[in-house]
Amino acid sequence: MSYELPSLPYAYDALDPHISKQTLEFHHDKHHASYVKKYNDAVEGTDMASKSIEEVIKATADNPDKSGIFNNAAQAWNHTFYWNSMKPKGGGTPTGALADKINSDFGSFDKFVEAFKKAGSSQFGSGWAWLVLDGGTLKVTKTLNAGNPITSGQTPLLTMDVWEHAYYLDYQNKRPDYIDSYINNLVNWDFAAQNLSAA
């Protein structure tokens, strides 16, 4: 039961000019595909091959001997989640239950944005910024490298990739510009709302 590389949920040029076709082609077809292949190769013929990728991520998270499996499993999962965290003509503000929960747990949407931008910009090196549900409360968190909040019992609602390969062709070293563009033009609030309602 191998884990398949999912297609992007939109065309390669659908996020232009905020994320270019060239970036999505490299990011999805090279980076993401490589994580998926390495993950499948690593678990083939083991008892993990029959487990879901989420089960494998949780089982290998704190085991240095399984770091190769964890890194590729988590990166395969994180990237799929990231593609769905964006959409063409995204951004703006959420509505409904998600908007109410953000206002309640952060104090305002602007305070959430401030926390999310800080998580993304202050992540040293490679990693991810997340909006998660943790014990019934929305929180912003960040993870290093392949880190994933499900290993801490949190439910991811949204993520932003801050590895350099996610933005360097379009923004070079200006990570804050990429973060602004993600928030203002790309966030898929419908996806976050679905994850909240399913939690």
Structural domain includes residue 176: yes
Where residue 52 sits, what CATH number does that domain have? 1.10.287.990
62 assigned to some structural domain: yes
Within a domain: 3? no
Are 70 and 134 members of one domain? no
Total of domains in the chain: 2
Residue 165 marked in a binding site: yes
Let me know if residue 32 belongs to a domain: yes
User: Do residues 68 and 143 both lie within one domain?
Assistant: no
pTM over 0.85: yes
Q: Which of 189, 187, 193, 190 is nearest to 86 (CA)?
A: 187
* 8 A C-beta contact, residue 148 and residue 74: yes
Does 18 appear as a known binding residue? no
Q: Last residue of a domain, which of 33, 57, 84?
A: 84
Confidence of residue 126 (pLDDT cuts 50, 70, 90): very high
31 annotated as a binding-site residue: no
Residue 12 inside a domain? The answer is: no
79 among the known binding-site residues?
yes
C-beta neighbour count of 33 within 10 angstroms: 14
In this structure, which long-range contacts are made by residues 163-167, counting pairs with CB atoms below 8 Å and at least 24 apart in sequence? 163/126, 163/127, 164/126, 165/26, 165/27, 165/31, 166/23, 166/27, 166/82, 167/19, 167/23
pLDDT tens digits for 18-59?
999 999 999 999 999 999 999 999 999 999 999 999 999 999
Judge if 152 and 104 occupy the same domain.
Answer: yes
pLDDT cut 70: percent of the chain above it = 99
